[in-house]
Structure 1
Amino acid sequence: MSLLEQIDKQRLPRHIAIIMDGNGRWAKEQGQDRLYGHFHGVESVRNIVEGCAELGIGYLTLYAFSTENWDRPAYEVNGLMELLIDTIRKEVDTLNRNNIRLHMIGDMQMLPESAQHELEEAMELTGTNTGLNLVMALSYSSRWELVHAMRQVAEDVKAGKVDPGAVTPALLEQYLCTRGIPDPELMIRTSGEFRISNFLLYQLAYAELYFTPTLWPDFRKENLYEAILDFQNRERRFGKTSEQIAEVPTGVISKDSIGRF
């Protein structure tokens, strides 16, 4: 039986988040510069997006460029931005054919104007699609997001729009980049590193973490299936005991229902 056939389609993670790591090391192994690895990493993105869409995954978030990545050598940053613009321009028709809606989280104002334009146009052109929601984390870091959210909360408290005593997790989530997007249930990191690297720190509170030594340019659907099968073999307790979980009817367990424990 293939890996795909082993997956329980009734127990898929609603939201998968991926830290796409290892492009530079992959390129070095090929005797090439880092941009060569990023270029080949785009094929992995296409393959995994297609795989998630075929499975019926609701949301896929890809960590494409962090706020810290701006400190990389200028040639690599410029090359990445050019690759981003070119890829978005080429992929819009494919996204529409596959009913995929594009979203972006992060500090868009930090991106070159041409990249902002391509992203805004792509999000508008795919805005009515109802299949997979593809969320690109660009110029994003969780600490930046939380500081940005706290500033907005503080401004609304100062303006009398928010009562400090009414600040709850539910209210805070409305100020995050991911408002309206369910928290990831499965987070995958490639390349053998065991870090979250400032990625969705608030949203990953109850996610299952999966680390693989596979470098991102080599990551394909079969690797995705392995991660999902690993997820489906875990017991998700959300702070409860195994005995308590056994008492909850199948399909009832969720962060929202028992996340307080």
Structure 2
Amino acid sequence: MASEAAPGSIGGAGTALPRHVAIIMDGNGRWAKKRFLPRFAGHKAGVEAVRAVTRAARAIGIEAMTLYAFSSENWRRPEEEVSDLMGLLRIFIRSDIDELVQENVRLRVIGDYRRFAPDLVKLVDDAIARTAANSGPILVIALNYGAQAEIAAAARSLAAKVVAGEMAVEAIDDAAIERELDTHDLPPLDLLIRTSGEVRLSNFLLWQAAYAELLFVDTLWPDFDAAALHQAVTTFAQRQRRYGGL
């Protein structure tokens, strides 16, 4: 696990620290295949990676971390695999919620998770409620999330306000759209990491990633650990962010 570091620094070196890090956790299936194991074993190992990386993020001082756990396209996977993923989500929440409460972590969920089974929806709702008063780091889980659907929903909401006379068309700007997004109350996205060597965003935080630093690594998600996160944050600190300027 990464060593303790003050917020705003990496290992105490005083280098820039991303406030908000998002991760596309890719490669569980390939990790299992390389070991001649069923895909479920890869997903289970991926949950262990989630624990290691989120703990490391808290130790480093990252303010918010968003994890792409289940996309709106993942329903296309075999029914057995979807069931396995839901089962692991249940296990993670039940086994880790006490730690999140004790560590002052606030759990957030983005995406339409209410499409899940009623017992899982209640489990998620209860976990969110138990951590709602926490004031420390934010752990965001993207469940049944798709960025295009998120942006379309924001557009519909703004259109409805215009029709109702609550705002003028001219008032719709970047800030107005951002206020309608699932992430409206989170820090701006600074760093987006994708594991497994794939180089695409897969419908994840498309609006939020407009000026985020992107990092694609070959490491399969179950092998991505505290040291890998620390390296990613160090790489971020070495980049120059110009936001279109010089």
Query: TM-score of the superposition, structure 1-length normalised?
Result: 0.88
Unaligned runs of 5+ in 2: none
Determine the structure 1 residue equivalent to 2:152.
147
Q: Offset of 1:104 from its aligned partner?
A: 0.2
Whether contact under 8 Å (2:21, 2:192) holds in the other structure is yes
Does residue 69 of structure 2 align to residue 64 of structure 1?
yes
Q: What is the CA–CA distance in structure 2 between the aligned matches of 1:7 and 1:213, rounded to whole Å? A: 27
Q: Offset of 1:32 from its aligned partner?
A: 1.4
Q: What is the Cα-based RMSD across aligned positions, in Å? A: 1.5
Does residue 195 of structure 2 align to residue 200 of structure 1?
no
Determine the structure 2 residue equivalent to 1:248.
none
Q: Secondary structure at the match of 1:11?
A: coil
- Report 1:82-161 matches (<5 A): 82-161=87-166
Q: What is the CA–CA distance in structure 2 between the aligned matches of 1:212 and 1:16, rounded to whole Å? A: 15
Determine the structure 2 residue equivalent to 1:171.
176
**Identical-pair percentage:** 45
Letter in 2 for 1:162: M
Query: TM-score of the superposition, structure 2-length normalised?
Result: 0.94
Q: Offset of 1:9 from its aligned partner?
A: 4.4
Summarize deviations over 1:110-139 as a string: whole Å, max 9, x none: 222111111110011011111110000110
Summarize deviations over 1:152-180 as a string: whole Å, max 9, x none: 11112111112111111111111111111
Q: How many correspondences in the alignment? A: 240
Determine the structure 1 residue equivalent to 2:21.
16
Determine the structure 2 residue equivalent to 1:188.
193
Q: What is the CA–CA distance in structure 2 between the aligned matches of 1:172 and 1:19, rounded to whole Å? A: 23
Whether contact under 8 Å (2:11, 2:60) holds in the other structure is no
Determine the structure 2 residue equivalent to 1:211.
216
Letter in 2 for 1:48: V
Structure 1 runs of 4+ with >3 Å offset: 2-10
Whether contact under 8 Å (1:57, 1:132) holds in the other structure is yes
Q: Return closer, same or farther for 1:237/1:108 CA change in 2, 3 Å cut-off.
A: same
Whether contact under 8 Å (2:21, 2:66) holds in the other structure is yes
Q: Secondary structure at the match of 1:21?
A: coil
Q: What is the CA–CA distance in structure 2 between the aligned matches of 1:87 and 1:240, rounded to whole Å? A: 43
Does residue 55 of structure 2 align to residue 47 of structure 1?
no
Summarize deviations over 1:187-229 as a string: whole Å, max 9, x none: 1110011111111000001111111111000110100011111
Whether contact under 8 Å (1:7, 1:229) holds in the other structure is no
Q: Secondary structure at the match of 1:174?
A: helix
Q: What is the CA–CA distance in structure 1 between the aligned matches of 2:220 and 2:196, rounded to whole Å? A: 4
Letter in 2 for 1:135: V
Q: Offset of 1:80 from its aligned partner?
A: 0.6
Summarize deviations over 1:241-261 as a string: whole Å, max 9, x none: 1xxxxxxxxxxxxxxxxxxxx
Whether contact under 8 Å (2:15, 2:237) holds in the other structure is no
Unaligned runs of 5+ in 1: 242-261
Name the stretch that deviates more: 111-120 or 45-54: 111-120
